[in-house]
Structure 1
Amino acid sequence: MPEIVQLLASPVHRFVGRPADGPVPAAAGELVDEIQVRAELGIVGDRYFGKAAHRQASVTVIAAESLPAGTGLAQVRRNILTRGITVDDLVGSVLVLDSGQGPVRLRANRAAHPCAWMDVTIGPGAWRGLRGRGGLRCTPLTDGFLRVGPVDVTIEDDPARRR
């Protein structure tokens, strides 16, 4: 059964400057059990919420199956870690997640490519190893809540992509 493994809503950017300098310390409470998603704005409390430059990438999703064992959202800086969903195949679709409080629709706009920081936060070779498996950058289409645990999943064609 598909599940949401972790959720991250961080008010701070941790990957600033050069990877060799290391990440900025994590904000307390950035890993949460529930997030509030707002249509076209992102995740309430997250560093990209309401930022015009990030509207098409305000929510990021990655599959646990793409990551080395023991790796989580603190290392990859995505917002939603799933298990049982092949997220990297969904560009151009709408991912609908319902963890019990109603569906949240996410337009999967483009791949979330890994960066050199992955070699620092996960380990040497992670940057290359995650190519093509770095998750999705999404725009939320509906308001709602998501929480850690089992999740109902629906994949829809995105009518906006047909134009």
Structure 2
Amino acid sequence: MNIKDLLKSFPRTGRVVWIGLRPERRGPVAEVEQVLASVEEGLLGDHYAGRRDSPASGKRHVTLIQAEHLPAIGSYLGRDTVNPAELRRNLVVSGLNLLTLKDTRFRIGKAVLEYTGECHPCTKMEATLGPGGYNAVRGHGGITARVVEGGEIRLGDTVEVLVDGVY
């Protein structure tokens, strides 16, 4: 098997285990059970939605992080885990290595997203998580994606990689 084939081989689908929206800039993250993803606006209800001057106007419609990384980040901080709301990501996904989504499109619920890059921590992590918070998240911050086909995303939805346009 060559590397091209290996890059298209995934052991299983992922699953959405948490959804968060940031209704106001710097405001608390609202945990929700479902969200509507829009090609034009990103995630409806998120403060980035629809702003032309914001990251949602292009590469950052949606931020995703792996559930498996939450205990790792916590361990660097001397905790068991971290609350996803502290990291200010939109979706927490379990069971799928998000970095393997590079150069792909993937379906979550009714929406189709496209990988746009890694989601690096911001300086707020130091204030939110305490001393060393920024470095605790480095390498574990997840990914960013744009919405290419709108639709509803719900807790429990699968994350399926579109290989050559289909799964």
The TM-score, its normalising length taken from structure 1, stands at 0.76
Q: Deviations over 1:124-162 (max 9, x none)?
A: 32321222221111110111111112x322223588xxx
Percent identity of equivalent pairs = 28
Q: Which residue of 2 aligns with 1:45?
A: 45
Q: Deviations over 1:26-85 (max 9, x none)?
A: 26xx11111111113201111010122322212111111112244233201111011112
Kindly indicate whether residue 66 of structure 2 is the aligned counterpart of residue 63 of structure 1: yes
Q: Which residue of 2 aligns with 1:22?
A: none
CA contact (8 A) 1:42 1:58 kept: yes
RMSD: 2.1
With over 3 angstroms needed to count, the CA separation of the structure-2 counterparts of 1:158 and 1:109, relative to structure 1, is: farther
With over 3 angstroms needed to count, the CA separation of the structure-2 counterparts of 1:32 and 1:64, relative to structure 1, is: same
Q: Which residue of 1 aligns with 2:142?
A: 135
Classify the secondary structure of the residue corresponding to 1:140.
strand
Structure 1 counterpart of 2:144, one-letter code: R
Classify the secondary structure of the residue corresponding to 2:25.
coil
Question: Structure 2: how far apart are the matches of 1:148 and 1:142?
Answer: 18
Kindly indicate whether residue 129 of structure 2 is the aligned counterpart of residue 122 of structure 1: yes
Structure 1 window deviating more from structure 2 (32-41 vs 120-129): it is 120-129
Classify the secondary structure of the residue corresponding to 2:96.
coil
CA contact (8 A) 2:39 2:147 kept: yes
Number of aligned residue pairs: 142
1:92 is aligned, of 103, 127, 133, to: 103
Q: Which residue of 2 aligns with 1:18?
A: none
For structure 2, list consecutive stretches of 5 or more residues without a partner in the other structure.
1-12, 75-79
Structure 2 counterpart of 1:59, one-letter code: V
Kindly indicate whether residue 86 of structure 2 is the aligned counterpart of residue 75 of structure 1: yes
Kindly indicate whether residue 12 of structure 2 is the aligned counterpart of residue 5 of structure 1: no
Question: Structure 1: how far apart are the matches of 2:164 and 2:114?
Answer: 7
Question: Structure 2: how far apart are the matches of 1:40 and 1:33?
Answer: 22
With over 3 angstroms needed to count, the CA separation of the structure-2 counterparts of 1:122 and 1:32, relative to structure 1, is: same
The TM-score, its normalising length taken from structure 2, stands at 0.75
Classify the secondary structure of the residue corresponding to 1:57.
coil
